[in-house]
Amino acid sequence: MTLKVMTVYGTRPEAIKVAPVVKALEACPDFESTTVVTGQHREMLDQVNAIFGIVPDHDLDVFAHGQTLNSIMAKVFDRLDPVLVQERPDAVVVQGDTSTVAAASIAAFYRQIPVVHIEAGLRSGDISSPFPEEANRKLTSQVTALHLAPTSTSRDNLVREDIDAATIAVTGNTVIDALLHTVEQQIPFTDARLAEAERSGRSVMLVTTHRRENWGGAMEGVGRALKALAQRYPEQLLVLPAHRNPIVREAVLPYLMGLGNVVVTEPLAYGEFTRLMAASKIVLTDSGGVQEEAPSLGKPVLVMRENTERPEAVDAGTVRLIGTDEQRIVDEVSRLMDDDSHYASMANAVNPYGDGRAAERSVAAMRQLFGLGERIADFA
């Protein structure tokens, strides 16, 4: 008899990281895979599903402009519970740290359904940063039956919180599986400006910024720093896929108006974004997932945050935490631009996040959870 595994996800980063596991579950004869999207992100979520050929079985469609975190959580609780009753899954899989993850894991726990948490054990050590992700991760860990930790550091974080080590598997990060799959597809740019930059071989700095804790004065400082960098390095093309949140756009975009070497795009589809990362010289970001992806492509990453729940690449030297101070952003990017040895030391550092077999390890751990087989060796 096959066991039903329900994967619940709602944002583009979640979709990217669950996709390899969903495909591995579909290929495993022991499991019947069911997918539920909450639609916490809408258009970007659908784009990722299309890349991996995933057609969700249920769509909770919780997205609404300007809604609060409490509203998202309430909608997921209310709309997911009838699906749990209808489908009666043997396990619910969640990924990461969004409001979808926290709500879905607690809803499953209330229905006494085992929770499997992909990317378990990330910790920044500050409950308010990143917000609300750090709290969502910790809440989810309390109700999880199987913790799929991406690294040994994440495993150690869980053990320190008195999580039973027997319930933890170190898998590597599924984002590497997804990235390698997507880069191989060579998905072309639809924006003519990006296609031309790639053809010409022009040096590109990729920038992403959206973090809630940076809203306001810090993000305006990011905008001023980007303007200063564009003026200091006119030969460099600065590309900013602009987050759709108007708070982000109003803080950053006014500083970039009229600069000929700045390209502002709408959020890029995942396939195009991975191509842009591969074509970039430097990545400047406050994103979590980009800290894992870009090092796999040999790109130095400067992170505009005060702390990170992903310290492994910082320790390895391919990621550097620089905060949001305007002058420091300018100084750190300038150092990478002007100092070839410093650039090489970051670009050539070893990526500690995965080897492309995270989904395989994840499904093997799920088989062991149900007494169907043995795990394979942890990712080291």
The catalytic position among 90, 97, 134, 177 is 97
Whether the ω angle into residue 234 lies within 30 degrees of 0, i.e. cis, is no
Cβ proximity of 120 and 149 under 8 Å: yes
Burial tier of 69 (Cβ tally within 10 Å: 0-12, 13-18, 19+):
middle
**Active-site residue, 342 included:** no
Residue 301 tokens read as 């990453």
Distance CA 184, CA 234 (A): 32
**Active-site residue, 305 included:** no
Helix (H, G, I), strand (E, B) or coil at 336: helix
Distance CA 285, CA 304 (A): 6
Distance CA 126, CA 210 (A): 19
**Active-site residue, 97 included:** yes
**Active-site residue, 306 included:** no
Cβ-proximal residues to 315 (8 Å cutoff; 6+ apart), any chain: 352
Distance CA 335, CA 35 (A): 45
**Active-site residue, 30 included:** no
Cβ-proximal residues to 279 (8 Å cutoff; 6+ apart), any chain: 197, 198, 204
Question: If you count DSSP H runs as helices and E runs as strands, how many of each does the chain have, helices first?
Answer: 16, 13
The catalytic position among 243, 320, 328, 375 is 243
- Per DSSP, 40 falls in state S
Residue 305 tokens read as 């945050």
**Active-site residue, 111 included:** no
Cβ proximity of 99 and 76 under 8 Å: yes
The catalytic position among 90, 119, 134, 312 is 119
* Ramachandran sector of residue 356 (left: φ over 0; alpha: ψ -120 to 50; beta: rest): left
Of the chain, the end-to-end C-alpha distance in Å amounts to 33
The catalytic position among 14, 90, 133, 292 is 133
Task: Estimate the crossing angle of helix 12-27 against helix 43-52, to 10 degrees.
Answer: 30
- Per DSSP, 188 falls in state P
The catalytic position among 41, 123, 210, 305 is 210
Distance CA 156, CA 168 (A): 10
Cβ proximity of 33 and 374 under 8 Å: no
Q: Give me the active site residues, please.
A: 97, 119, 133, 210, 212, 243
